[in-house]
Structure 1
Amino acid sequence: MRFVSLVSKTAPLDNVHCRKAVLYAADTAALQLTRGGPTAGSRHGNMLPPTIPGSDDYDPFGLTDGEPQRELARKELRACGKPAGFTTRLAVRNTSDREIQSATALQSALKAVGITVEIDQYDATRFVEDTSSPGTVKKKGYGLIMLGWGADYPTGSGFLRPLADGRLITASGNTNYSQVDDPGINDLFDRATAETDAAEAARIHRRINHAVTDGAYYLPITADKVLNYRSPRLTNVYVHDAYGMVDFQALGTGDGASG
């Protein structure tokens, strides 16, 4: 997933209505184009990728429609006490042209409802270290962070827990970039972990995903798609479930006669 983290401890994004204003104001079609268009990634309305058990088409903010919903954004701004808008800072790596273009597209869309985004093109050698430190994020006043994320294991827990379990927030090396700390969500993670039935665990992770989505903690940009060509001489080719990619160590070569 490619997404923007909305840091819930950075004012005024510590107010859910201000976070919702960002989601409603975003031009997701423009953001998708910065990632390479529909062939490179699909618009997605929530934070659980289509390949993970428990994923569905939940889209309470209409993100898959591709159009900014400015009147709804202005309504949320009034609800969070910022009817004229507000200013926030966005951190993005300075080595990724696509991410810089995404940051610029988001900046333009939010400006239309009065939200000013100051883009900080961050030194890539320090980006991960600093954005994974809540103290540094607070010191620099980051309300938005441009990121990408993939699961180490193809489960709801493998993808969502590092992003949304409040008990995993650490002073350094933090991956809960939005600093989500909701007791209800934390409890659901425990229930999913204790569940021995895979189908029921997937249902619980769906509930977690809906709760994280409803909280407007993250703005999904795209669920990435990758097309891999392989030579007909390549043998023993399969996609590893855990990594969503070809298991390179298993590859061999042949004469290509069997295709």
Structure 2
Amino acid sequence: MRGASSAKWVAGAIVIALAATACGGGDDDGGSKGSGKAGGTFRMGITEPVAIDPYNAQESEGTLVTDNLFTGLYEPTADGKVDAALATSKKVSKDGKTWTFTIKKGTKFSNGEAVDAESFIRGWNRVAVKTAASDVAYHMAGIAGFADAQSGKATTMSGLSAPDPYTLQVKLSAPDFEFYIKTTHTVFSPVPKVAGDAKNKAYNEAPIGNGPFKMQGKWEHNKSITLVRNDDYGLTKAHLDKVQIDILNSANGVTLEYQGFESGQYDWARMPTPQLPAAKAKYDPQGEWIQQDMSGMNYLMPITDNGPLKNVKAREAVSYAIDRDAIIKGVFQGMYTKSTTILPPSFTDVYQKDLCTSCIKQDKAKAKQLAAEGGLKPGTTIEIAYNTGAGHEEWVQAVKQQVEDVLGVKVKSTGKPFAELLADQQKPGATGMYRFAWGADYPTPDNFLYPLLDTASINKDANGKVTGDNRARYSNKKFDDLLSQARGTEDQAGRNAIYKQAEKVALDDMALIPLWNRTQLRLANTKKYAGLKMDFHEDPNLAEISMK
């Protein structure tokens, strides 16, 4: 997931707020989660999402809404496990290519339509077709027939079938013993018949789902989104009556969140980076400060097929030129830790500390040497683009100054609204580097390595626009082959060993430039609400919050 997650995964998800296996079904007792009191309107602010329809929900803002409107086969828990939601059982063939899921009977969409196997098939095909132009369709790439749907040769995926109304069978084009984990992504949501195709504007702006909440009215762009409790939810019902989400100006969204919390307008907030020490000092003693290490990572994303960073040595030069320790101390007040890997340290079984040698310590001499060897001449202009309103200005300026001072290049820093930044990354001929963050949509290393770095995740259209998440345009057959090998390995330890090899290949190519690991910081109104914490996607756990 853009920023924006085996045994010991810690929760992971999306954008850092710097100054986005069980087999039983869920509870069906008709009650609310936990023992808290029902009622209340939970208030918070976000910036404008890219989408709230599951066919293209992709960053923290959109995922927050979509995840509460829809329920799929499996759900990730806050600590990175995978629990069954609508799947009451799963079975995989010995060759890892056929999965069979039994779906809980008796649940329905908020319009009264039954949720069955055809609902899932409908939702998945709606995403995969070429006309959808979904940025997150690649999560389905392993399903047989996906390539034909993406190319326009077919309108459905041949690998999906329903042997009976509540049995979903999925045939894959290659073995994948972790496929069920991928179904925790909102792109695998079921949809009702009224959803139509992905370009159904009425549904895009007021999705009808089967989750713990439903829309009240429609998405008022750049203004608000309102959710209300779905009292017909087929699993354990939420407590909150309503969630009021204000859509804030992207130029200063985090500042407005913080001010809103201070004034009592909001019950959840991120903070501008310069305010972190004061906010911690004030709210930590009151029990309203949340600080949690997550499975997200922060990088600079270099465009690897065009421009001044096309050469691997030029990318290494930039990495060596950055003094991560100085930025963490000066900008982040010591609240973060530097990254030396692509995969987060919370992925303990695959973590390879200091795999990125250029990330360990600034080395000016090495940076200059590599810049010369990589054709990065003094005076060259490199653009670094970042999203405004999320507190990135301070550290971006620090990186800009360091790279300019060490390499003698000119770094042009450009701030853009988040949706515009994401669109800019996709453009044909993109160049330079981008502020980039990622947290796992589902808890497996595959969800970092495949979407960000596999050739299949570039997904260029006829005009050269990238519609996948490999926006660095990184392509290495050895890396791709290792990921395919990992997916086809049934043994977890064996998969982990291959993931480690793949990560090393990518870092040898400096496909991404690691910066710092993700520690998420939030303010939460624990005086009024009980059970308030960060979920897997680093959002408030809306379906579990109750009044005190």
* TM-score (norm: length of structure 2): 0.41
- Shift of residue 64, structure 1, vs aligned partner: 3.6
2:456 is matched with which residue: 148, 152, 167? 167
What is the 5 A alignment of 1:85-104?
Answer: 86-96=380-390, 98-104=391-397
Going from structure 1 to structure 2, the CA distance change for 1:85 and 1:194 (only over 3 Å counts) comes to farther
Instruction: Please say if 1:191 is aligned against 2:500.
Output: no
Q: Is the 1:90–1:142 Cα contact (8 Å) retained in structure 2?
A: no
- Shift of residue 69, structure 1, vs aligned partner: 0.7
Going from structure 1 to structure 2, the CA distance change for 1:95 and 1:246 (only over 3 Å counts) comes to closer
Instruction: Please say if 1:223 is aligned against 2:517.
Output: yes
The structure that has the greater radius of gyration is 2
Q: Is the 1:134–1:174 Cα contact (8 Å) retained in structure 2?
A: no
Going from structure 1 to structure 2, the CA distance change for 1:154 and 1:111 (only over 3 Å counts) comes to same
* TM-score (norm: length of structure 1): 0.82
Equivalence for 1:7? 303
State how far apart, in whole Å, the 1-side matches of 2:485 and 2:525 are.
42
What is the 5 A alignment of 1:202-217?
Answer: 202-217=496-511
Equivalence for 2:101? none
Instruction: Please say if 1:38 is aligned against 2:334.
Output: yes
State how far apart, in whole Å, the 2-side matches of 1:58 and 1:34 are.
22
List gaps (5 residues or longer) in structure 1: 255-259
Letter in 2 for 1:147: F
State how far apart, in whole Å, the 2-side matches of 1:181 and 1:134 are.
17
Equivalence for 1:58? 354
RMSD after superposition: 2.6
Equivalence for 1:110? 403
2:442 is matched with which residue: 145, 153, 156? 153
Instruction: Please say if 1:25 is aligned against 2:317.
Output: no
Question: What's the secondary structure of 2:471's corresponding residue?
Answer: coil
- Shift of residue 205, structure 1, vs aligned partner: 1.2
Q: Is the 1:164–1:180 Cα contact (8 Å) retained in structure 2?
A: yes
Q: Deviation digits for residues 158-216 of structure 1, max 9, x if unmatched?
A: 12211100111023433112111000000011011111111221121111111111111
Q: Deviation digits for residues 4-63 of structure 1, max 9, x if unmatched?
A: 101101222111111111111112123334762432x21111110111241220334242
State how far apart, in whole Å, the 2-side matches of 1:22 and 1:197 are.
38
Q: Deviation digits for residues 84-104 of structure 1, max 9, x if unmatched?
A: 3632111112323x3222221
State how far apart, in whole Å, the 2-side matches of 1:226 and 1:120 are.
24
Q: Deviation digits for residues 207-227 of structure 1, max 9, x if unmatched?
A: 111111111121222111135
Q: Is the 1:54–1:203 Cα contact (8 Å) retained in structure 2?
A: yes
Identity among equivalent pairs (%): 20
- Shift of residue 155, structure 1, vs aligned partner: 0.8
Instruction: Please say if 1:47 is aligned against 2:336.
Output: no
State how far apart, in whole Å, the 1-side matches of 2:488 and 2:340 are.
28
Q: Is the 1:77–1:85 Cα contact (8 Å) retained in structure 2?
A: no
Instruction: Please say if 1:75 is aligned against 2:369.
Output: yes
Q: Deviation digits for residues 63-121 of structure 1, max 9, x if unmatched?
A: 244xx21100111022123453632111112323x322222111111112212211122
Q: Deviation digits for residues 111-138 of structure 1, max 9, x if unmatched?
A: 122122111222334121221x141xx1
Question: What's the secondary structure of 1:81's corresponding residue?
Answer: coil
State how far apart, in whole Å, the 2-side matches of 1:192 and 1:246 are.
33
Going from structure 1 to structure 2, the CA distance change for 1:238 and 1:195 (only over 3 Å counts) comes to farther
Task: Tell which has more relative contact order, 1 or 2 (C-alpha 8 A, sep 6+).
Answer: 1
Q: Is the 2:304–2:310 Cα contact (8 Å) retained in structure 1?
A: yes
Between 209-218 and 82-91, report the one with greater CA deviation. 82-91
Q: Is the 1:87–1:117 Cα contact (8 Å) retained in structure 2?
A: yes
State how far apart, in whole Å, the 2-side matches of 1:173 and 1:34 are.
37
Question: What's the secondary structure of 2:439's corresponding residue?
Answer: coil
Going from structure 1 to structure 2, the CA distance change for 1:57 and 1:36 (only over 3 Å counts) comes to same
List gaps (5 residues or longer) in structure 2: 1-296, 460-464
Question: What's the secondary structure of 2:432's corresponding residue?
Answer: strand
Instruction: Please say if 1:182 is aligned against 2:471.
Output: no
State how far apart, in whole Å, the 1-side matches of 2:545 and 2:387 are.
34
Going from structure 1 to structure 2, the CA distance change for 1:42 and 1:160 (only over 3 Å counts) comes to same
Letter in 1 for 2:398: A
Equivalence for 1:127? 421
